Chain A
Amino acid sequence: MPIPETDVQWVETARLGFWEQLYIPSMLAGLKTTIGHIFSPQVKTEQYPEQEPKMPANYRGVHRLNRDHNDRVKCVACYMCATACPAHCIDIVAAPAPADWKDREKYPETFVIDELRCIYCGMCEEACPVDAIELTTLYDLTGLSREEMIFDKEKLLSVFDQTTKAGTDPVRTRAGRLGAASDTAPG
């Protein structure tokens, strides 16, 4: 598709005046700027290891599994997050909920996230009907082996404990005990 002639703008470069053609005054003006920056520095860089960055609340870092008011795992093992995950990094094994857990049929027997495989897109958080999985602002996740980076249910729950205790990531859900899905009447 050729560009129509009416859309083409022919731009002439501006003509340099005598002062610019001398070159030296322009260069001195440039030197004034560079030297000015040396003597009045406006350093805005963050001194990282000493100075921790403050992450925005919607930063997508390490996952956590939320607990409900009884300190049980909030997840109902519906597989929505595992289905939504584009990287296929979530592995859930569901089991019938214990008899005294009256509010749900299933709970996750295991819940494993491969943090190395995850692309931190936040789709699992979007998909979760009960706000059980959330991404925290922990950005500096490291490990010495691949096995260490595969987070199981206990580890993910401990991330919840850690981040809520530290106050960096308060529980974000505004829904009822089991989250948004449980508040709407079935049918």
Chain B
Amino acid sequence: MPPFDPLYTAIVIVCLIGGVLGLCAFLTLAERKISAWIQDRVGPNRVGPGGLLQPMADGGKFFLKEEVIPDHVDKIFYLLAPAVAVGTALLTLAVVPFGSTVPAPEPASSLAAYEQSQAEYQSHFSFVVNPGLDIGVLYLFAIGSLAVYGVVLAGWSANNKYSLLGSLRASAQIISYEIPLGMSVLGVFLICGSLNPEKIVAWQTDNGPYWLILFQPLALLLFMTSSYAEANRLPFDLPEAEQELVGGYHTEYSALKLGLMLLSEYVHLIAGSFMLSVMFLGGWSLFGLETISDDPIVAAVIKLVILCGKMFALCIFAQLIRWTIPRFRFDQLMNIAWKVLLPLALLNLICVMVVKQLGAPLLVLTVTSAVLVVGAGLFSVWTAGSVTNPKRKVVKLPAGIPAGVTYAS
């Protein structure tokens, strides 16, 4: 364990949270601009050059609007919910590397060797709030599953049918997608031998650029799908489906409390994108570009830019997906989680275990991933979709009975 330095940690926390909150603001602008471009519109262009200052106007609006607390809400939980939502979202950032990281050294055989490796480790600068945390990703999943409390509290305390329906959907959805989310990355942990994100990055960079997307493309797909569901993003935004639920669990929220609710979703998206780039896309490495400079500070900046660039690209990709796939029906949503993602993740995990046990080259896993996807497609064709999309039985009423009237059988 590296020694704890409160000042250094405080600086990193301030920089990280400041950066993430600023990025959230500009992701809202990007979201609106990208939506506009895809729909052949112009998008916000009134505030500042090309609408660049729109996030400031939006943020200012959140501060200045009236804080409405309806009479019928449960005040304590109503006020607690946005705090829980944004608090758990920000807590996930504690283990997310956002720049160059160095894994903590392995236990050494002698004291002198240990101290030398520790001194070597201390001389590096780690861009993570809590470096050397060996349960890293496990912590992320634990805190991530707490996020559902914010949503459930918001829906329950609002005392409103739309909010309640939204939060019911959200709790079912988030709990269901937790499982494929965790299952899909188990293969990564088996390959890298660690839950520590810094070690996962080190595994990908040390043996040349072996990004795990090469060996675990299926896991990447499953993880990405589940993380969109966790962040309540389209096509999984049933908890706040505007068309059906008026905004779902944040129907009764206004002003800054609504802002916090929306903020927490963007923080989830950012944390998920960071984890995707760290676990599958090689973290701060980019085809040798990160070793271009010998100066440690320049190298650190390059790695920071590479990793944050990957994260930003993944956030933009999520926004493209938003306008590409229509929203799922709720039964389809559940079917995807339990009948598609979970079995595929389990089979993928078994493949990794077999390959590791037999000592086969890791490229076999690329083949097995492709085989699993094609096999799933063939299985769906063979069963004519009756597993994931069971046909509803058509009951023809006897003649003479008007349509729309149901009788107890």
Contacts and interface: CB of A to CB of B under 8 A. Distances in A.
B320 A35 contact: yes
A34 to B, nearest CB: 5
B324 A27 contact: yes
Contacts of B394: 10
A47 B403 CA distance: 50
B324 A30 contact: yes
Interface in B370-406: 373-374, 376-378, 380-381, 384-385, 394, 399-403
A41 B40 CA distance: 6
A64 B373 CA distance: 70
A30 B321 CA distance: 9
A136 B402 CA distance: 52
B37 A31 contact: no
Given A2-B402, A15-B384, A22 B377 contact: yes
B40 A3 contact: no
Contact of A21 (B38, B39, B385): B385
Interface residues of B, number: 28
B91 interface: no
A2 B403 contact: yes
B323 A34 contact: yes
Contact of B40 (A15, A18, A22, A37): A37
B380 A21 contact: yes
B42 interface: yes
A45 B320 CA distance: 21
A5 interface: yes
Interface string A10-39: 100001111001111001001101110110
A21 B40 contact: no
A38 B403 contact: no
Contacts of A38: 34, 37-38
A185 interface: no
B41 A45 contact: yes
Interface in B208-232: 221
A58 interface: no
B297 to A, nearest CB: 36
A45 B42 contact: yes
Interface string A144-155: 000000000000
Contacts of A5: 399
Nearest to B336: A23
A9 interface: no
B325 interface: yes
Nearest to A39: B37
A48 B3 CA distance: 61
Nearest to A2: B402
Contact of A34 (B42, B320, B376, B401): B320
Given A21-B381, A30-B324, 19 more contacts: A2-B400, A2-B401, A2-B402, A3-B403, A10-B394, A15-B384, A16-B385, A18-B377, A21-B385, A22-B373, A22-B376, A23-B377, A31-B321, A34-B324, A37-B38, A37-B39, A38-B37, A41-B40, A44-B40
19 contacts: A2-B401, A15-B384, A16-B380, A16-B381, A16-B385, A17-B381, A18-B378, A22-B374, A23-B377, A27-B324, A31-B321, A33-B324, A34-B320, A34-B323, A37-B39, A42-B40, A43-B40, A44-B40, A45-B42
Interface of A: 1-3, 5, 10, 15-18, 21-24, 27, 30-31, 33-35, 37-38, 41-45, 47
Q: Which 10 A-B pairs have the closest CB atoms?
A: A21-B380, A30-B324, A22-B377, A2-B402, A21-B377, A38-B37, A18-B381, A34-B38, A37-B38, A34-B324
Interface of B: 34, 37-42, 221, 320-321, 323-325, 373-374, 376-378, 380-381, 384-385, 394, 399-403
